[in-house]
């Protein structure tokens, strides 16, 4: 298929820059285009309109995986282990609290806490864990439990989803990460995962969370078995929910990382194939596709205020370039990260490097919290 010439997408880009809403067909035309420069310039113009301030932000948190036990099978996940496996674990309170203490000592005010779909832990276990964290670290926001986990809690307990979310919120859950979104198209989800929530369930977790006063982020992992049309449908479903609730604070996308160290893909505990896709054989999507897709997301998601760079998967240079392709945030210092690292993709940046990336891009670095409020000393002095 021949990509549209630059002149074919100019009216679409001008429409988005002017603040008019794009439709699916227009978003698809942009994704099919190879004019990365024009798309990036338009996305940057939209970002400058939404964020005219001279700041670009980052936050300091730690990704704590309280357990790696999971009953689902995701063909892209090298992190999970089945129940009873020698490498399966559930963190003790002592270890969990030590990790949080280290985060606080480094200036962090948040933990990103996720695990697998553990088939045995009751809801009360999670409530107790949250209460213990809030008791010892009342200043720390728990950005916790992906929508698939929360839907799993709902199915395991046979309690209404709203009750599950309210109980966790009352126990200390502060906000929801957008994990487990992958591509919000059931055909794709069924092809790359088994035993995991489908599109409507993922969206419903966020919708109900927003209805009870919560905030969350949303994500997209692309560059595997999905089509460009699937990417557009994913963005459209997010935009629909945001129109209803306004509860998404940010969107983050990244490319599928072909697993280099993934002995468990699509296999049961005895090592037999369960079917699915051998995603280690899929060619990786590069920086071009990442930057274009993020830029299109900025143009299409006119109601989601923030776009976060994904330097964790893309590396420092591409992560910095993302600030000119629709991102206004460099993401997290990520003191600890396990899931992406298990797949063989490891990029590490120090706090100084993140701040330098922002400064070299021509902006003032500011530390923020999950609600995109400034929390650094500079902000306090200017308040």
In a domain, 63, yes or no: yes
Contact criterion met (CB below 8 Å) for 351 and 42: no
Q: How far is residue 75 from each of residues 27, 228, 234, 266, measured CA to CA in Å?
A: 28, 20, 19, 5
What percent of the chain lies above the pLDDT cut of 90? Answer: 66
Q: What is the mean pLDDT of the chain?
A: 87
Whether 16 is covered by a domain: the verdict is: no
CATH of the domain at 351: 3.20.20.70
Q: Is 64 helix (H, G, I), strand (E, B) or coil?
A: strand
Residue 37 placed within a domain: no
Helix (H, G, I), strand (E, B) or coil at 312: helix
φ, ψ of residue 254 to 5 degrees: the values are: -155, 160
Residue partners of 42: CB distance under 8 A and separation at least 6 = 13, 14, 16, 17, 295, 299
For residue 125, is it within any domain? yes
31 within some domain: no
Instruction: Write down the pLDDT at residue 317.
Output: 93
Which residue is associated with the tokens 């839907």?
Answer: 151
pLDDT at 166: 98
| 135 Cβ contact partners less than 8 Å away, ≥ 6 residues apart | none
Beta carbons within 8 Å of 327's beta carbon, 6+ residues apart: 47, 294, 298, 307, 308, 309
Classify residue 47: in a domain, yes or no.
no
Q: What is the pLDDT of residues 294-329, one digit of tens each?
A: 999 999 999 999 999 998 888 899 999 999 999 999
Q: Return the pLDDT at 283.
A: 65
Phi, psi of 188, rounded to the nearest 5 degrees = -70, -45
Task: Measure the CA–CA gap between 115 and 113, rounded to whole angstroms.
Answer: 7
Beta strands in the chain (DSSP E): 55-59, 61-65, 73-74, 110-114, 141-144, 173-175, 193-194, 216-222, 248-255, 306-308, 329-332, 364-367
The reply to whether 282 falls in a domain is yes
151-208 pLDDT, tens digit per residue, is: 999 999 999 999 999 999 999 999 999 988 999 999 999 998 877 899 999 999 999 9
> Is residue 27, in this structure, part of any structural domain at all?
no
The number of domains in the chain is 1
Residue-wise pLDDT tens digits, 74-132: 666 666 676 677 777 788 999 999 999 998 998 888 999 988 777 888 999 999 999 99
Domain containing residue 167:
53-382
pTM comes to 0.88
DSSP 289-311: HHHHHHHHHHHH-TT--EEE--H
């Amino acid at each position: 298929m021949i990509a549209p010439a630059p002149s074919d997408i100019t009216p679409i880009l001008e429409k988005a820059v002017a603040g008019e809403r794009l439709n699916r067909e227009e978003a698809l035309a942009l994704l099919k285009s190879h004019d990365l420069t024009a798309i990036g310039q338009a996305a940057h113009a939209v970002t400058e309109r939404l964020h005219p301030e001279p700041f670009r932000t980052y936050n300091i948190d730690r990704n704590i995986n309280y357990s790696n036990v999971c009953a689902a099978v995701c063909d892209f996940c090298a992190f999970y282990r089945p129940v009873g496996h020698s490498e399966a674990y559930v963190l003790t309170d002592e270890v969990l609290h030590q990790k949080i203490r280290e985060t606080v000592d480094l200036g962090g005010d948040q933990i990103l806490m996720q695990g697998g779909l553990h088939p045995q832990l009751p809801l009360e276990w999670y409530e107790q864990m949250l209460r213990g964290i809030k008791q010892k670290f009342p200043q720390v926001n728990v950005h916790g439990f992906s929508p698939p986990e929360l839907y799993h809690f709902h199915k395991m307990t046979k309690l209404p989803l709203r009750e599950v979310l309210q109980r966790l919120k009352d126990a200390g859950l502060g906000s929801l990460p957008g994990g487990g979104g992958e591509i919000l198209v059931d055909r794709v989800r069924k092809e790359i995962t088994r035993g995991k929530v489908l599109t409507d369930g993922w969206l419903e977790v966020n919708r109900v969370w927003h209805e009870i006063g919560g905030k969350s982020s949303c994500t997209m992992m692309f560059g595997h078995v999905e089509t460009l049309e699937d990417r557009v449908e994913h963005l459209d479903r997010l935009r629909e929910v945001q129109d209803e609730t306004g509860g998404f604070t940010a969107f983050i996308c990244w490319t599928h990382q072909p697993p280099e160290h993934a002995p468990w893909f699509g296999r049961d505990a005895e090592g037999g194939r369960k079917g699915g896709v051998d995603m280690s054989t899929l060619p990786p999507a590069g920086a071009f596709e990442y930057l274009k897709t993020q830029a299109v997301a900025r143009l299409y998601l006119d109601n989601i205020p923030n776009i976060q760079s994904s330097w964790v998967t893309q590396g420092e240079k591409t992560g910095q370039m993302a600030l000119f392709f629709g991102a206004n945030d460099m993401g997290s210092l990520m003191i600890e990260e396990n899931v992406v690292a298990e797949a063989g993709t490891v990029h590490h940046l120090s706090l100084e490097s993140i701040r330098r990336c922002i400064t070299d891009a021509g902006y003032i670095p500011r530390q923020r919290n999950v609600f995109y409020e400034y929390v650094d000393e500079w902000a306090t002095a200017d308040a």
